[in-house]
Amino acid sequence: MRVSVFDDMSLCTEQEVNRMLPLVSDQRREQALKFKFVFGRFACLKSYLMLSELTGLTEFGFTYNEYGKPSIAGHPEIHFSISHCQHAIAVAVSDSPVGIDVESFRKADDALLHRTMNEDEIRMVEASDCRERAFIELWTRKEAVFKLMGTGITDDILTVLSGNAETETSVNDALKYVVSTAVYL
């Protein structure tokens, strides 16, 4: 598995978007231009270029499964996952299914905590010195597993981490974001 994380969000400008537009496929350019705000356009273009660098492909399109999970058209042997948040963009590429999620630290109120975490996970978050970080570490692991499965968030959110996926998590405390990847054991 190869992972790339970009977190110099000072480059998220209209000028940089305009510089990247001619570097991507027509399909990706059209997708990027549908975003209303600069961040959406930037993340769409930057993640494509990161994926291109990781795969060695220079121009490619996407197909989508019934849940919206993309794959690279004509390259079923390449598995990838893309995620972005306010502080970073993350891309993972593998020769087997992979999921990645990146999220900024955010408040985990009790209602959200109890809707998304099981009892053991709630205890872990509540015992943590940094509740926001602990919540996002668990949340990104869950989201990465859902992306690995290609289903999006499903009803088994409380038990998704007890399945047959292995997760790895990295925390950037300085920029306050967490990246998790998931692969099948």
116 and 87 in a common domain:
no
Counted domains in the chain: 2
158 and 75 in a common domain:
no
56 and 138 in a common domain:
no
57 and 108 in a common domain:
no
Q: Which domain holds residue 162?
A: 101-184
pTM of this structure: 0.95
Domain boundary among 62, 96, 130: 96
105 and 90 in a common domain:
no
84 and 39 in a common domain:
yes
Domain boundary among 96, 113, 133: 96
List the Cα angle 7/143/91 in 5-degree steps. Answer: 35
Cβ burial of 17 (10 Å; 0-12, 13-18, 19+) is buried
The secondary structure of residue 97, as a DSSP letter, is -
Contacts 24+ apart (CB under 8 A), 25-32: 25/59, 25/60, 25/61, 27/61, 27/62, 28/61, 28/62
Q: How far is CA 19 from the centre of its chain?
A: 24
What is the domain-level CATH number for residue 149?
3.90.470.20
Confidence of residue 67 (pLDDT cuts 50, 70, 90): confident
As a whole number of Å, the end-to-end CA separation of the chain is 13
Q: What is the pLDDT of residues 88-107, one digit of tens each?
A: 999 999 999 999 999 999 88
Strands (E) in the chain, as ranges, are 2-6, 62-64, 70-72, 79-84, 89-94, 98-104, 165-172, 177-184
Q: Which of 134, 140, 135 is nearest to 3 (CA)?
A: 140
Domain boundary among 64, 96, 128: 96
Average pLDDT over the chain, rounded to an integer:
95
Q: Could you tell me the CA-to-CA distances from 100 to 110, 120, 123 in Å, in that order?
A: 25, 23, 25
Confidence of residue 135 (pLDDT cuts 50, 70, 90): very high
106 and 142 in a common domain:
yes
73 and 27 in a common domain:
yes
144 and 92 in a common domain:
no
